[in-house]
Amino acid sequence: MFEYFPENYTWNLAFMSGMNRGGALGDLDEACRSLKTHAGRRDSVAQQAWFESFVKVAERSEALARRDEEAGNLFSAGRKYVRAGVYYLLAERMPSHKDARRLIAYKRGIELYERGLKLRREPVERVEVPYGAHSLPGFFVKAPVAGRAPCMVHFDGFDATKETIYGGVGDEYRRRGISLLIVDHPGVGEALRLRHLHSGPDTEKPAAAAVDYLLTRPDVDPERIGIVALSLGGYYAPRAAAFEKRFKCCVAWGAIFDFGAAFEARLGGTNEPSVPGFGDHAQWVFGAKTLEEAKAVTRQMTLEKVAADITCPFLIVHGENDRQIPLWHAEKLYAAAVNSPDRELKVFHLADGGAEHCGADNGSLIVDYITNWVAEKLGASPQGI
C-alpha cells in the first residue's frame, strides 16, 4: 500500500480511500503535505489538523464547482461537487464524534456528493428502506437491463458510508447487468449520525428490511438478490445470509469470523485501527455508554455457531497482508461454512496486489473479482452499455 505517512496506518488508509473513491491526487497531496509533521502524534491536535486541512481543500473544490455550475458546465461542476463531498467525508473521519464540527462537515459532504451525482446524471436514486418505526437511507443504482434485474444489497462496515461504497464500486455492478442497493444500515452513515440508529449482532434484521424493500420494486428480480459487505461487513453479510434465506449469494469482502477477538486485539495494539479513537468510535457505533459495554456487544459478534447456516453460494475475499483483520478469520469462516453448496476463499497476495485490508492498496482487483463472481452466480448479463 502506498504509505504517504510511513508512521500512521490510519491516515494512510484514509488517503488511499480518497484515491480509490474519486479524489484527485493533487488535492490529496495538498491536504496531506502540511500534515507530515503531525503524523507521528496520533492525538487530538493531529486529528484536528487533518480535519482543518481537508475541509480547506473541500471548500476550494466546492467553490470551483459553483463557478462551473454558474457557467452552465454542469458535468464539470458535478465532478467537483463529488470530490468536495469526498474531502468533507475524509475530514469527518478523524476527530471525535463529540466534536460538533464533525457533524457539520458530514452533512455538507453528503449534500454536495448527492448534488454532484445529480449534475453528472449518475444512475443513482436516493431511497428510504422502511425499518420498523424508522427508515434506512440508501442509494439504488439501477442496471441498464430491460425488465427485472438481479440486485445486490451492499452493506457498509465499521466506518464506511454509502457514498464511499458507491465511489469504490461505481459502475462495475451495473456494467454486468446487476442493480445495487447501498444502505446506510444501523451503526454507519446517516443511520448513525442523523437518525441515531446503532449496530448490533443481529444484522439479519436490516438485511431483511432491504430485501422487503427490493420486493416492492418492479425492476428487481426477487429470485436473484444477494448481499455483499466490506470490513466489519465481513461479519454483517454472512450473519445476514445465515438467517435471511431470500439471499441467493453472499460475499464477505474481508472476513470477520470473531469480531470480539479482533476488537480486543486492536485495543491491545496487535492489529491496526481503521479510525482514531477506535474504542470511542465503537461505543458510538454500538450505542454503548462504556468501553466494557461495547466489548460485550462485540463478543456476541461471532460466526462460529451460524456459519453452518449459510446455504447459498458464498465468496470470501481477504488480503494476505491485512493489518486490521488477520487471514485466519477468513480461513476459519470458510471452514465453518460447511453447508454452502458453493463456497470459495479467494486470498489476494502481495505479489499480485489487493493484499491489504479490503484491497486498500488496489481495490479495483477486489471489485473485479467480486462482481465477476456475483454476475456468474446471479446469472447476470450486460445490456444497454
Tens digit of each residue's pLDDT (9 = 90 or more) over 215-269: 999 999 999 999 999 999 999 999 999 999 999 999 999 999 999 999 999 998 8
pTM, two decimals, is 0.95
Which pLDDT score is estimated for 168? 87
Beta carbons within 10 angstroms of residue 142's beta carbon: 16
Cell triple for 87: 474531502
Cell triple for 317: 475475499
Above pLDDT 90, what percent of the chain? 90
Backbone angles phi, psi at 186, to 5 degrees: -50, 135
Q: Are 281 and 159 in contact (CB under 8 A)?
A: yes
Above pLDDT 70, what percent of the chain? 99
**Which class for 360: exposed (0-12), middle (13-18), buried (19 or more C-beta within 10 A)?**
buried
How far apart, in whole angstroms, are the C-alpha atoms of residue 183 and residue 212?
13
How far apart, in whole angstroms, are the C-alpha atoms of residue 138 and residue 167?
14
220-230 and 179-183 beta bridge pairing: unpaired
> For 18-22, 72-76, 175-179, 260-264, which range has the lowest pLDDT when averaged over its residues?
18-22
- What is the residue whose three cell numbers read 461542476? 77
Amino acid (one-letter) located at 61: S
How far apart, in whole angstroms, are the C-alpha atoms of residue 318 and residue 355?
7
Q: Are 180 and 214 in contact (CB under 8 A)?
A: no
- What is the residue whose three cell numbers read 420486493? 215
Beta carbons within 10 angstroms of residue 96's beta carbon: 14
